[in-house]
Amino acid sequence: MINSLRTTASNPLTLLESTSTLKELHQIHAQLIVSGHLRHPRLLAKFVSLLALSQNTPHHLPYSRKILNHSPSSPTTFALNNLIRAHSKPPFNPLQAFNFYSQILHSPSLSPDNFTFTFLVRASAHLTSAAIGAASHAAALKRGHADDPHVQSSLIHMYSSFRSSTACHRLFEGIQDPDVVMQTAMIGAYAASGDIDVARKVFGEMPHRDAIAWNAMIAGYSHVGRCREALELFSAMQGESVSVSEATMVSVLTACAQLGALDQGRWAHAYIQKKRIQLTVTLGTSLIDMYSKCGSVDRAMEVFKAMPEKNVYTWSSAMSGLAMNGAGKQCIEVFELMEKEELEPNEITFVSVLRGCSIVGLVDRGLEYFDLMKSKYGIEPWPEHYGCMVDLYGRAGRLEEALQFIKSMPSKPHSGAWGALLNACKIYRNIELGELALSKILEIETMNDGAYVLLSNIYADFGNWKGVCSVRELMKAKGVRKEPGCSVIEVSGLVHEFFVGDKSHPMYQEIEVMLGEINWKLKLAGYAAKTNEVLFDIEEEEKENALIWHSEKLAIAYGLIALKEGVTVRIVKNLRVCWDCHDWTKFISKVFGREIIVRDRNRFHHFKDGVCSCKDYWRVRLEGFNELLLGKFSIVQWARVNLSYHSRKYINSGVYLKLGQKKERKSEIKDRSIPLAPPRPSDARVPPDHHLTHGVPSDHHLKPGVPPDHHLTPEFCQTTT
């Protein structure tokens, strides 16, 4: 060390680049004092700046502050600018930047320059207070630096981070000749506020687009969930031979993850390797996320294990991936490993572990972590953590304790907490609590379609058709419409999209034949008998409903046609899988010897050999079945209580038992003359963003004279929460 110092005595500052320990830093500092270097304000400034900006050595910044405060000569603007700069990005406190700014102001020989404001505005963007940001802007104006192009683009970025698109717009309009950087900042600003089409307009009108502009546009599409366009733009980018970077691939992977497009994601991974794009922590984390959300946890964990450097995002991503794929125990293991490595978990890490505990029903462990969060890490629980705890207790059937958790929340419970309770009420058939939960949710957000559907399902579980009707009435009165079910499947790189009852796929004929074959085989296996006979015996209007296939059934059937034997069928669905489809898929996995992975709104279902990875944990508990059968109730009564509407419909229709239920139910159904048809896919609020390979779905089964039964189609029994 000393030797190397001597040899580089002419410029000891170059040593800083390879310095990481505090001891080495002390040695260099001592050497600079001895040699008299630090008496020169210029060199002192350089030393301080280098220290402040040295990456991956967080202890250098506080050290540089100390040197500056204790040096005999007063600091220069250059040094202070660089300290502001160092504090303009996390993990350092951006508020500190203002101390250095005021140091410039209070020093009679110094005044802030265009660099000062560029850095100060950048620091302001990381604050939560838009007022401080505006004050930085005002100061720049007052000192005559607001016209500087660097300051201007930082200002757009800052207002964008405050979600103030009007401020961005005003600023941008005032610039006569905006350059690429400002335009790119505006793309980011419009994308952040959801005006992606306006962003695209800016992008389209740019005379010159560099790689970062492309990245910003692709990221914008990914951000708002327009994944197909993100991927299209990515291929356009390659066509223009713009250089692809880490940031590009992160957005591409995010798009693949949202789509659940494993093939595309794999391709992107291979592309990264082929182009030798450096696998940074951020990129690695995106890969983990992509593989997890495409149902390929094993690959996700491979990437995770291979990463030499990880951060909280990486760990949290791995944990949440395991949790959503049903691997709760592994999720907990990863958390324990993280603790062992003495990495500091954050709020989101705890959301992930708690979900892991929830999915495998480890209530006590979850409670332990909830307490640990506060006691060991000093993290105040967010509403989301309470939501996890409600879910944890709720899924375990401990509804009262779940309610107590809601009541213990320090602030007003959010709809997610009540939603978790409502979900538990559906599983454990608790009408009173369910009604309470729904009313609370509706106080907060009136348009939550999933909440209405869940409560309606609870009523349906009890055969309470009046309740079902009243929910539908309420939805109609409030103008709430249920999101249409939609499933997608990727076949040789193309994403095929199916809506409920959708006949518009070019291969629909073949799909229908396949569905017939499936039903025939499942019948032999002891399953299909129900549905088939139902189709025979039910009334005309019901028959029409029974023929409406859920979107995942269509997608799975297509997958069986289009995918080679042995290839896993992967489905991504926008809503939750219904009970009937869940059973149907379990049977297929056994009868056809096919692995099927369904990603629904909340989690993955890995079907293999007739079993699902979710262990049916979200379903109605059936333990009481035998007891009920043996005496107290008839099977129809049992079914009324235990089965969801359309499963019960098969039984009630008299195929199995003719116990007079049918007539009674019929008349009740006739009563509910609510002409609320399921929303047409074509005018869905937000059309799901999947690759439409076959045009707009047909809606011929939704013609105006929809029978009143329509709103109780099986699809309605699927929830969106």
Instruction: List the interface residues with DNA, window 619-648 (CB under 7 A).
Output: none
Cα(397)–Cα(358) distance, rounded to whole angstroms? 12
216 lies in the site for DNA, by CB under 7 A: yes
Q: Which amino acid is at 229?
A: E
Angle made by CA atoms 230, 236, 241, in degrees to the nearest 5: 125
Please, what is the minimum distance in Å from the beta carbon of residue 616 to DNA?
Answer: 21
Out of 37, 157, 550, 711, which residue is the one contacting DNA (CB under 7 A)?
157
Out of 54, 64, 254, 325, which residue is the one contacting DNA (CB under 7 A)?
254
Which is nearer to DNA, 155 or 469 (by Cβ)?
155
Cα(117)–Cα(348) distance, rounded to whole angstroms? 33
Q: Is 524 helix (H, G, I), strand (E, B) or coil?
A: helix
User: Which range binds DNA by CB under 7 A, 45-53, 474-482, 564-572, 577-585?
Assistant: 45-53
39 lies in the site for DNA, by CB under 7 A: no
Which is nearer to DNA, 212 or 620 (by Cβ)?
212
85 lies in the site for DNA, by CB under 7 A: yes
285 lies in the site for DNA, by CB under 7 A: yes
Out of 19, 31, 46, 538, which residue is the one contacting DNA (CB under 7 A)?
46
Cα(293)–Cα(448) distance, rounded to whole angstroms? 24
From the centroid of its chain, how far is CA 235? 24
Out of 71, 105, 107, 113, which residue is the one contacting DNA (CB under 7 A)?
113
Please, what is the minimum distance in Å from the beta carbon of residue 24 to DNA?
Answer: 22
Cα(260)–Cα(489) distance, rounded to whole angstroms? 9
96 lies in the site for DNA, by CB under 7 A: no
User: Which range binds DNA by CB under 7 A, 133-141, 214-222, 645-653, 713-721?
Assistant: 214-222
246 lies in the site for DNA, by CB under 7 A: yes
223 lies in the site for DNA, by CB under 7 A: yes
Q: Taking CB under 7 A as the criterion, which residues in 123-152 touch DNA?
A: 148-152
Out of 19, 27, 31, 153, which residue is the one contacting DNA (CB under 7 A)?
153
Out of 13, 95, 141, 281, which residue is the one contacting DNA (CB under 7 A)?
281
- The helix or strand, by DSSP H or E, that contains position 488, with its residue range, turns out to be strand 486-491
210 lies in the site for DNA, by CB under 7 A: yes
164 lies in the site for DNA, by CB under 7 A: no
Please, what is the minimum distance in Å from the beta carbon of residue 103 to DNA?
Answer: 14
458 lies in the site for DNA, by CB under 7 A: no
Q: Taking CB under 7 A as the criterion, which residues in 178-197 touch DNA?
A: 179-185, 188
CA torsion angle for 500, 504, 510, 515 (degrees, to 10)? Answer: 10
Please, what is the minimum distance in Å from the beta carbon of residue 340 to DNA?
Answer: 18
Residues 503, 562 contacting (CB under 8 angstroms):
no
Please, what is the minimum distance in Å from the beta carbon of residue 566 to DNA?
Answer: 30
215 lies in the site for DNA, by CB under 7 A: yes
Q: Taking CB under 7 A as the criterion, which residues in 545-564 touch DNA?
A: none
81 lies in the site for DNA, by CB under 7 A: yes
Cα(162)–Cα(465) distance, rounded to whole angstroms? 48
Which is nearer to DNA, 222 or 531 (by Cβ)?
222
Please, what is the minimum distance in Å from the beta carbon of residue 548 to DNA?
Answer: 32
Q: Taking CB under 7 A as the criterion, which residues in 372-431 touch DNA?
A: 382, 384
Residues 28, 19 contacting (CB under 8 angstroms):
yes
45 lies in the site for DNA, by CB under 7 A: yes
Cα(139)–Cα(417) distance, rounded to whole angstroms? 44
The token duo for 83 is 């300290």
Out of 330, 352, 644, 718, which residue is the one contacting DNA (CB under 7 A)?
352
Residues 388, 358 contacting (CB under 8 angstroms):
yes
Which is nearer to DNA, 379 or 628 (by Cβ)?
379
Q: Which amino acid is at 84?
A: I
The token duo for 228 is 């197909």
Please, what is the minimum distance in Å from the beta carbon of residue 247 to DNA?
Answer: 3
Please, what is the minimum distance in Å from the beta carbon of residue 208 to DNA?
Answer: 9
The token duo for 328 is 């709760």
Q: How far, in Å, are 3, 34, 53, 129, 163 from residue 542 at the CA level?
A: 90, 93, 71, 58, 50
Tell me the number of residues near DNA by CB under 7 A.
72
**497: β partners:** 488
Cα(90)–Cα(492) distance, rounded to whole angstroms? 42
Q: Taking CB under 7 A as the criterion, which residues in 461-490 touch DNA?
A: none
Please, what is the minimum distance in Å from the beta carbon of residue 680 to DNA?
Answer: 31
Q: Rounded to the nearest 10 degrees, what angle do helices 180-192 and 196-205 cross at?
A: 170
Provide the 10 A C-beta neighbour count for residue 111.
11
The token duo for 551 is 């979107």
Provide the 10 A C-beta neighbour count for residue 69.
9
Q: Is 11 helix (H, G, I), strand (E, B) or coil?
A: coil
168 lies in the site for DNA, by CB under 7 A: no
CA torsion angle for 458, 462, 467, 468 (degrees, to 10)? Answer: 60
653 lies in the site for DNA, by CB under 7 A: no
